[in-house]
Amino acid sequence: MHLNGHSNDNGRVHAHSSDEPLDLLCIGFGPASLAIAIALHDTENTITPSPSALFLEKQPQFAWHAGMQLPGAKMQISFLKDLATPRDPRSKFTFINYLFEKRRLNQFINLSTFLPTRVEYEDYLRWCASHFEEEGKVVYGMEVDSVRPGSKNAAGKVTNWEVTARDTATGNSVTRRARHVVIAVGGRPFVPQNMQGLKHLAHSSQFASTITSIQKREEGRKLRFAVIGSGQSAAEIFNDLWERFPDADVKLVIKGASLRPSDDSPFVNKIFDPDRVDAIYTQPPSERAAAIALDRGTNYGVVRLELLEHLYQKQYMQRLESPDETTWRCRIIPNRTVLSASQSVNSGVVLRLGDADETKRGAEEEVEVDYVFTATGYVRNAHENILSEVRHLLPEDLRKEGKFNVARNYRVKLDVGEVDGGAGVWLQGCNEGTHGLSDTLLSILAVRGGELVNSIFGEVSGEVVCEGLSSPA
């Protein structure tokens, strides 16, 4: 099989070690790497010889936010911001072509919406991924442990990288070499320290699978739930629990005085335009940090207006039955933060809540529930462990801090005296602090994937390989 892969009797694709360096190896095969694969595919006639590429993914199959695939949940961005259209609307990988191939284009048009359901968008992503699976360019069930310097040239400079991955099914290790390595592993679910280790507490990323097992296990029992967070995921889980368990007691604990709407108005939405990245990256660090902090209100700790109105309507109906909010089955508890969480004697969870404003000394309260879901975001630093054996190749001024700073084109800044120009490490989805709020979102993936292909292979061919895009310095 191409790229030194092989299939077992179950049809699962595996990779095995090889000393032949690949041109490109991507760690992770979520939307960011998929956009790169698509951009590379769309340039196959402009790069000679055709580059070799491999994508390693630790999940057993392609999945996108599987834990938040809730009934009726819709996308928060237009389908036109798919993995191809903003870069090249003629690509076969556009959402429109997906609908055409699935024979649903006219029916989708009749919906009169720019926002497909999240379930349909995941199916679109899976449809895109299947193309590269069929070509044997993706290997699932492979968790990358490390990236190390590989071969060196006569000048003593690193010319490729040695990537070691572990087969999650067998435990066997696989080593591949590649001239360019892209790390796009997404974020790790973040649970505050004071809530970790509890049996009946789960992160929002695990909600869909966890709640299904709870339904089966607790059938017939009146349950009590708490949801921690004030963003879209928290609101969606609160709404889902409210509807899924008609008799359950559900509390949404938020730090603010109320849930707030996300701002997706036209002028504000310009912050998610691809060309905004240039302006953000070139700003002085202090100005950039202030701009990003201001932009965060469009995506963090906010909820789409449609869902807010739906929740308000449902709460109003509770008020119709009883003006006393403390008697409501489903409540939003504002201005509170979780001071501590512990296992109760009944195998539930006891939350100690206090005033979200640390300068105030308000009364504390304890809330006991059966299950807790935290919608508390993600940490995006997995690349630091993966690249631990590359730290000594950082420029001297960054070596002590061990920071993997990136250039505008997402290439890690390594010591040019130690690393050949034809060997690079690139980071995706963990550069919000330098590239702006769109870095972790879907908004610019199509263009960004093209930029990366240009940066890597445009240098080889000496020309722009993705039409309509320049190769940023």
The CATH number linked to 402 is 3.50.50.60
Is residue 132 domain-shared with residue 8, that is, in the same domain? yes
Long-range contacts of 279-287 (CB under 8 A, 24+ apart): 280/434, 280/435, 280/436, 281/408, 281/434, 281/435, 281/436, 282/408
Task: Report if residue 267 sits inside a domain.
Answer: no
Task: Report if residue 368 sits inside a domain.
Answer: yes
With cut-offs at 50, 70 and 90, classify the pLDDT of residue 460: very low
Task: Report if residue 241 sits inside a domain.
Answer: yes
Task: Report if residue 150 sits inside a domain.
Answer: yes
Is residue 332 domain-shared with residue 304, that is, in the same domain? yes
Domain end residue (candidates: 331, 359, 378): 378
Q: Kindly report the number of other CB atoms within 10 A of residue 392's CB atom.
A: 11
Is residue 178 domain-shared with residue 202, that is, in the same domain? no
Task: Report if residue 397 sits inside a domain.
Answer: yes
Is residue 214 domain-shared with residue 305, that is, in the same domain? yes
Which domain, by its residues, includes 193? 189-262+300-378
At residue 285's C-alpha, the angle toward residues 431 and 294, to 5°, is 75
In the predicted model, what is the mean pLDDT of residues 416-430? 96
Total domains, the chain: 2
Is residue 134 domain-shared with residue 247, that is, in the same domain? no
Residue 461: the pLDDT is: 37
Domain end residue (candidates: 316, 346, 378): 378
Q: Kindly report the number of other CB atoms within 10 A of residue 34's CB atom.
A: 28
At residue 300's C-alpha, the angle toward residues 299 and 305, to 5°, is 60
Is residue 361 domain-shared with residue 457, that is, in the same domain? no
Reduced to 3 states (helix: H, G, I; strand: E, B; else coil), residue 2 is helix
Domain end residue (candidates: 378, 406, 430): 378
Tokens of 48: 């000679």
How would you classify residue 301: left for phi > 0, otherwise alpha for psi between -120 and 50, otherwise beta? left
Task: Report if residue 276 sits inside a domain.
Answer: no
Q: What pTM was estimated for this model as a whole?
A: 0.91
Is residue 155 domain-shared with residue 54, that is, in the same domain? yes
Contact indicator for 249, 422 with CB cutoff of 8 Å: no
pLDDT value at 10 more than 50: no
CA distance 100 to 129: 17
With cut-offs at 50, 70 and 90, classify the pLDDT of residue 15: low
Is residue 305 domain-shared with residue 433, that is, in the same domain? no
Report the DSSP beta bridge partners of residue 251.
226, 331
With cut-offs at 50, 70 and 90, classify the pLDDT of residue 205: very high
Task: Report if residue 285 sits inside a domain.
Answer: no
CA distance 17 to 177: 9
CA distance 437 to 269: 11
pLDDT value at 473 more than 80: no
User: Sign of torsion, CA 335 287 186 405?
Assistant: negative
Is residue 169 domain-shared with residue 307, that is, in the same domain? no
Is residue 327 domain-shared with residue 453, that is, in the same domain? no
CA distance 248 to 228: 17
- Amino acid at site 150: G
Task: Report if residue 411 sits inside a domain.
Answer: yes
The beta strands (E) that lie in 262-364 are given as 330-333, 336-343, 349-355
Is residue 237 domain-shared with residue 335, that is, in the same domain? yes
What share of the chain in percent tops pLDDT 70?
93
In the predicted model, what is the mean pLDDT of residues 20-49? 94
Is residue 349 domain-shared with residue 416, that is, in the same domain? no
